[in-house]
Amino acid sequence: MTSVDYASETVMITGASSGLGVEFAHQLAAKGADLVLVARRQDRLEKVAKDVRDRHGVTVTVIAKDLSKPGIAGEIAWELSQRQVTVTSLINNAGFANYKPFTEIPTDRLRSEIAVNIGALVELTHTFLPKFEERGSGFIINISSIAGFQPSPGMVVYGASKAFVLSFTEGLWSERKDKGVRFLAICPGPTETEFFTVAGSDKADGGLKRMESAEVVSIGLDTLDRKTPPPSVVTGLQNKVLTSVSQRMPRRLVASVLGKMMG
């Protein structure tokens, strides 16, 4: 594969109203990509869109949708068709965690977490991938986490959802490798975003040093741009060491150690 020609791309970014989503928008726009920004908060999206347009001069389309709704990918595809916007690549960035003991989290909140972290990601990929493959180009970036490599006491559904995202992306990378579409799971550790506010506690970082979102996105896009990109990348030396060590330790010990870190 050659490097990605971002100037010919229209990239849809979910969770684009804050954090990594905003950073993806700016870094991709700086490379010449047009954008479709998706999140729940219309006002926040419009503000991000204006900033991106003013700074980079690209076309930005805003779609305010609740990604926890079943069938949301079809709604988004229909709206794009009405606006005559053709998406050529996808970044499934939307996701959130609940930092509480499992039994203390309301069922509806857990259902929404699974719907956003897994359901919307799968639906959107399933809806748009065939179109990308018809063109024989484009990319799909899915945001996983170092939590996908080991259990996450205190955020058990979040960790399990990110393990799904990692496995799902790597499976597609292998299954669809001859179709011309790039796949990459980016696995950050704790990152300076609104994640901890939404999760409900700063303790959700496990005491680890937080990376800046700009660095996470830069590493991800640099990895995607390789001639033969890998199916996944862990961002940051601290996070690479942690995941490497945890994969070599007995699972029982890993779960116990992380339980103490997250307590």
Q: Are 180 and 228 in contact (CB under 8 A)?
A: no
Rounded to the nearest 5°, which phi and psi values hold at 90? Answer: -140, 135
For residue 103, give its domain range: 6-262
Residue 217 lies in a domain: yes
Compute the residue count for the chain.
263
Identify the H or E element spanning 156: helix 156-175
Residue 140 lies in a domain: yes
Predicted local distance difference test score (pLDDT) of residue 152: 85
Predicted local distance difference test score (pLDDT) of residue 263: 57
Residue 173 lies in a domain: yes
Predicted local distance difference test score (pLDDT) of residue 3: 83
Identify the H or E element spanning 78: helix 72-82
Predicted local distance difference test score (pLDDT) of residue 183: 98
pTM, full prediction: 0.92
Count of domains forming the chain = 1
Residue 195 lies in a domain: yes
Residue 35 lies in a domain: yes
Residue 237 lies in a domain: yes
Residue 1 lies in a domain: no
Residue 252 lies in a domain: yes
For residue 209, count other CB atoms closer than 10 A to its CB: 10
CATH classification at residue 29: 3.40.50.720
Strands (DSSP E) contained in the chain are 10-14, 34-39, 60-64, 89-92, 139-143, 182-187, 232-234
Report the catalytic residues.
158
| Average pLDDT per consecutive 10 residues, the chain (263 residues; last block may be shorter) | 89 96 98 97 96 98 97 97 98 94 96 98 98 97 94 91 98 96 95 67 66 94 95 92 78 69 62
Q: Which residues contact 76 (CB under 8 A, 6 or more apart)?
A: 12, 38, 63, 65, 124, 127
